[in-house]
Structure formats: structure tokens, C-alpha cells
Amino acid sequence: MLITGCGGKEKTVTVYTSVDRNFSELVFKDFEAKTGIKVLAGYDTEASKTTGMVNKLVEEAKNPRADVFWNGEFSQTIMLKEKDVLTPYKSKSADSIPDKYKDREGYWTAFGGRARCILVNTDLLKAEDFPSSYSDFLNEKYPADKIAMAYPLFGTTATHAAALYAFWGDKKAEDFFRKLYERGIRIVDGNGVVRDLVVDGQMIFGITDTDDALGAVEKGAKVSIIFPDQGEGQDGTLIVPNTVAMVKKRQQNDNAKVFIDYLLSEETEKYLVEIGWIQAPVRDLAVKAAGVDLGGIKTLDVTLDKVYDKLEKSISALKEIYIR
């Protein structure tokens, strides 16, 4: 664990974060400039940043050092609530954030992150033939061996699968993923591999995240980004958001509330898009990245609690299909 900054008599707030340091430091400096409050930042040195940081918070629960936890995902933040590591705080800055991104009791709040999207090779498909829905992965007009998806047992693909289990119900979701497997679409080791296969023309399209997809667009690849299921009557896609929470302490630091208010503001959410940490605001903000309109993405109408509750079950069920 590395904690940077110095205390002294100045106003401070200790923030543990799993967010990449090159992005989080920009945010901390912006916060310090606007409030005069010094951020003492806790970064984990392990490769698995989120897991290492969560373990540290659990270990320190009886004598916590952190005031705030800023996480680049949501499932382990919810786990910290279950382990009684967090304390409630409902920020006024979150009033415009949809309820499905907020804990009902105020233990955590989610904000912008990555959206699930379809990346299409524009040399191989004309615009009128682009897929528009996740269901198009089962459409016979597209060759199965030219469609890619990461294993739905890890990362955001597993989270997306859990969201579909929560939204559709177990039977429909399991039937869908079984049909994908039986159809023979290309299952690969990660979202970055999906992107690379589409960019190289080995695949006509695949499901990935906006950070990988926008990286390809920014490099001038012959690709297009499609947010699936955006039409009337369609389900929407998934945003995998950041979360922020106040750490439970005997004596709470009021500066923690100031930092959370700042992080959850519309202005900061736009700033996070500008610096490249997030690509999908949870509010309907007028923002673009690499020329792609990121505002007003229609999302699955399911709470993060329900996604978290399905995660272990969906991974277990999908192992039976995808690991033989």
C-alpha cells in the first residue's frame, strides 16, 4: 500500500482508490485546487488493484485509515457494505443520478464508467448491415465464426451476463448464452482481444467495452461503435460504473463528504470523460469522445444490487456451458 501526500495541520481527506493513478491523480489535483483540501491517496501496489484495496479496507476495519473508497467498478463496493466497512452518506450531488445507480440506504453511489458496446469492422460490413442488438449474435445472416465475445466468466463480460440474468431471468439468460456457445461464436480471452480481432479484420464484429472500442477509433481503425438495443421496446445496454463510498470510522472526517460531493457532481463526471477515465456517464450529459456521442445511452433497467446478487450464480451456471 502506498499513501502519498503529507498531513500536518492542513485540511486533508484520505482516499483509497483502485482507479489508475494517471487518472486519479488528475482528479485529486483538481479537487485540491477547488477546495483547498489535500488528498492523501492510497494506492495498492498489487496487480489486482481492486481486490488488494478491498482486502486492505477489510483488514483495517477496526482502525480504518481511509475516509473514502473510490472504486473503478461496483461489485466489491457492495461487498464492503455487506462486511460493515462502509457508512451511509447521501450526497446532494447525486440527486440527478438515476436511483438504480444508488444504494437505497446511501452506503454507496455509482457514477460514470464503461458501457458495453458492439465494435464493427466497417471494411467488412456496410452500415445498413450493422448489428443493432445483442440478439444479433444469434442472427444466421452473420457467420458465427466471424463474431467474437470474451469468456462470460470474467471481467465486464461476466458482469454483463449477471445483468442479463437479473433482467431477463435465469432461464432466458442461460438459454441465450447456451445458444451462443452452440452456435460457435469465437470465445476469446478478453475485451482487448475482441477489439484487436475486429480491427484486424479477423472478425466482423464483437462485444467489448467503450474504453477498448474508443481506443481503436482514436487510432484511426476502420471500425464503428454501436450501442446495442437502443430502440423503442429494446432493453438497452449495460454501464459498468465507478462507485464511491464513505468508510465507517469512530469519528468521521467531514472532508470526506466534500470529496464525495465533488466526485459525484455533473462537472466532475464530464471532466472524467474529458481525461479518458470514463466513457459512459450515468446521467444524460452532452459529451463526446473520439467523435462518438456518449450522452443518453439507454441502459438495462436493473439495479446494481440485483446484478451483484446474480454474479456468483451466473458465473457458476456459465462454467457448466463454457468450460468443458
Residue 297 domain-assigned?
no
Residue 226 domain-assigned?
yes
Give the span between the Cα atoms of 120 and 126, in whole angstroms: 10
Same domain, 281 and 155: no
Amino acid at 8: G
Question: Residue 213: which CATH number?
Answer: 3.40.190.10
Same domain, 46 and 121: no
Q: What is the dihedral of CA 66, 72, 78, 79, to 10 degrees?
A: -70
Amino acid at 236: G
pLDDT digits (tens, 9 = 90+) for 198-239: 999 999 999 999 999 999 999 999 999 999 999 999 999 999
Percent of the chain whose predicted confidence (pLDDT) is above 70? 95
**Whole-number pLDDT of residue 10:** 78
**Gap between the terminal Cα atoms of the chain:** 39
- Grade residue 76 by pLDDT with cuts at 50, 70 and 90: very high
> What total number of domains does the chain contain?
2
The mean per-residue pLDDT over the stretch 155-182 comes to 97
- Grade residue 49 by pLDDT with cuts at 50, 70 and 90: low
Same domain, 245 and 107: yes
Please say if the pLDDT value at position 46 is more than 80: no
Same domain, 173 and 312: yes
Same domain, 96 and 164: no
81 is in which domain, residue-wise? 2-113+239-287
The mean per-residue pLDDT over the stretch 43-50 comes to 62
**Whole-number pLDDT of residue 294:** 81
Helix, strand and coil percent figures for the chain, each rounded to 5 = 40, 20, 35
Give the span between the Cα atoms of 116 and 210, in whole angstroms: 6
Exposure of 15 in the CB half-sphere (CA atoms within 13 A): 32
Residue 224 domain-assigned?
yes
- Grade residue 7 by pLDDT with cuts at 50, 70 and 90: very low
Residue 248 domain-assigned?
yes
Same domain, 254 and 229: no
Exposure of 299 in the CB half-sphere (CA atoms within 13 A): 27
Residue 214 domain-assigned?
yes
